[in-house]
Structure 1
Amino acid sequence: MINYNGSLVADSNILLHENRAFLYGDSIFETVKVLDNKVLFLEDHYFRLMASLRIVRMEIPMYFTMEYMDEQIQLLIADMPAAPSYRARISFFRKPGGKYLPTDNNCEFIITAEPLNMALYSINEGLYEVELFKDYYVTKQLLSTLKSTNKMVQVTGSIFAQENDYDNCLLINDDKNVIEALQGNLFMLTGTKLITPPLSDGCLNGIMRKQVLELAKKIEGLEVSEASISPFDLQKADELFITNVITGIQPVTKYRKKEYTSSLASDVLKRLNAKIRFS
């Protein structure tokens, strides 16, 4: 089942040849984790979604409040078999009409969901090797920070990673700075300095990125900043880790000949789980 504009249906019957998300990538989406009947970081997700819709000039339905969004996700989850947690995705797309210029800025939404095997976040202790993806760049602009359905860089990068036996790839912008991974934001620890690329470099405005920044700033002796990261900086780092709301924190163990530890990643993950349990 899916939730289509507030109704649970088996099939939306959307006509692909008319759908602007399919034709032009004219769509914004948000991926959330649901644990114990609670959407984690609900407020952050809602306000990022609303801001994204405004940026791309979609008309936000007046009824689509944060409480309504929560209710609609829970409605779909309640119709699914019990699981430790769930991944839900809400996608907004403009109504049919027009070519590049739409004839209607009003939008519709679909919510889909799937069960997850884990409840709280956990550290993957296995090997996790990454490489730079240099075939295409992410541009330094506001649209790059949004979760839109225009993800061809991430799609082709994922195929490149699979073909070359990498677990993930790191993306670079048009200044040749490293900005993020294929499926999440990037953090780099060098000595006592924890750095993540700034949004102005074109990285995703990640919800888990925000949580990690807030938690890391409370760790005594750790200097936290948002600054550009060059490929050369990766070779000098002690830790690299990738963040998103589904996985949580994924430590990188190897980039080329450089191997990394994961002590800080484990510490931040414990703090993250504690925040979830007691919030």
Structure 2
Amino acid sequence: MSKQFINFNGDILPADQQVLTIANRGFKYGDGLFESMRLLKGKLMFAELHTERIRKGLKLLKMDSWSHLDTWFLNEKVEELVRRNKTGPDARIRLTAFRNGEGLYNPSSNHMAFVLEASQLSESLYKMNEKGLIIDVFDEITKPVNILSNLKTCNSLIYVLAGIFKNQNSLDEVMVLNSNGFLCESMSSNVFAVYDRKLYTPALSEGCIAGVMRQVVIKLAKENGIELVEAQISPDILNEADEVFLTNAARGIQWVMGYNSKRYFNEVSRFLNEKLNLR
């Protein structure tokens, strides 16, 4: 593989170059957020939705200069980096933004800094997994519900511990519950379930990430006559659903095959994935 680079605050630097100090607030306090995106056939998919979510998150975290990060800026910086990294037309993109001031809990500055990364992918479409995922529920720690819950912040300890639980139990994915015991999301994705001919997903008020692919799938479902319900959902739905699938910006739609002794179909998820690849 050729030498890889990152974009650090507008400068293209070697990916292995040390750019952060011990004073970095993202490291010390998780004071930042990140956005995962997908480049397909040279196009940054759903760039407007990603930009909107990044800007909303930065504004909520009270970081200065959030308004300068627009769709034009994002597309330009991604194009520059993938060209330098020689990833080709298909890549996974990650933007991490953090508060650049020093200080303790009270920062000395609210100025935003960022790191942009790009890594090559081999598929030029959203490819569904051939083998369905095996899941379980991670309930050792629940996710709080507040105005930060919909953001992808740099404080990801719940998901890290969920990942350890996943590995320890030889699972493909795990479901995360909110502080009220209701279904929230999975370790790395939003959750959808087909039950009684309706498509269900946890409402944003349940504390799930406001995923871009979640938005896209909701829109696709409505455009294609699939009745969709955003609601407070008991994890018991996993025992009753006909189908369960997960969505995120990098992988698109991934279908779940089993939970305990329950086995699922993948008819709706496959249909929506076909529609997704026509976008």
TM-score, scaled to structure 1: 0.95
- Among 128, 131, 136, the alignment partner of 1:126 is 131
Deviation digits for residues 171-198 of structure 1 (CA, Å, limit 9, x no counterpart): 0011100111101000010121101000
Which consecutive unaligned segments of at least 5 residues does structure 2 have? none
Q: Aligned ranges for residues 68-87 of structure 1 at < 5 Å?
A: 68-83=73-88, 85-87=90-92
Residue identity in the other structure for 1:231 = P
Q: Aligned ranges for residues 1-279 of structure 1 at < 5 Å?
A: 1-10=5-14, 13-60=18-65, 63-83=68-88, 85-220=90-225, 222-275=226-279
CA distance in 1, matches of 2:192, 2:211: 12
CA distance in 2, matches of 1:89, 1:80: 14
| CA apart distance, 1:60 | 1.9
CA distance in 1, matches of 2:195, 2:218: 16
Deviation digits for residues 203-246 of structure 1 (CA, Å, limit 9, x no counterpart): 000000000000001223x3111011112121110000000011
CA distance in 2, matches of 1:62, 1:130: 39
Q: Which moved more, 1:157-166 or 1:6-15?
A: 6-15
Residue identity in the other structure for 2:28 = L
CA distance in 1, matches of 2:20, 2:214: 36
Contact 2:39 2:89 (8 Å CA) reproduced? no
Percent identity, please: 34
| CA apart distance, 1:119 | 1.2
Contact 2:101 2:111 (8 Å CA) reproduced? no
How many residues align? The count is 274
Pick closer, same or farther for the CA change 1:236–1:263 going to 2, 3 Å.
Answer: same
| CA apart distance, 1:123 | 1.5
| CA apart distance, 1:4 | 1.0
Deviation digits for residues 67-120 of structure 1 (CA, Å, limit 9, x no counterpart): 112101110000122445101111111113110111100111110110112110
Contact 2:59 2:66 (8 Å CA) reproduced? no
Which consecutive unaligned segments of at least 5 residues does structure 1 have? none
Residue identity in the other structure for 2:277 = N
Q: Which moved more, 1:57-66 or 1:15-24?
A: 57-66
SS at match of 1:45: helix
| CA apart distance, 1:65 | 2.7
Residue identity in the other structure for 1:258 = K
Deviation digits for residues 34-77 of structure 1 (CA, Å, limit 9, x no counterpart): 12221100000001000000001001255433211210111000
TM-score, scaled to structure 2: 0.95
Contact 1:239 1:261 (8 Å CA) reproduced? yes
Contact 2:39 2:91 (8 Å CA) reproduced? yes
Residue identity in the other structure for 1:96 = G
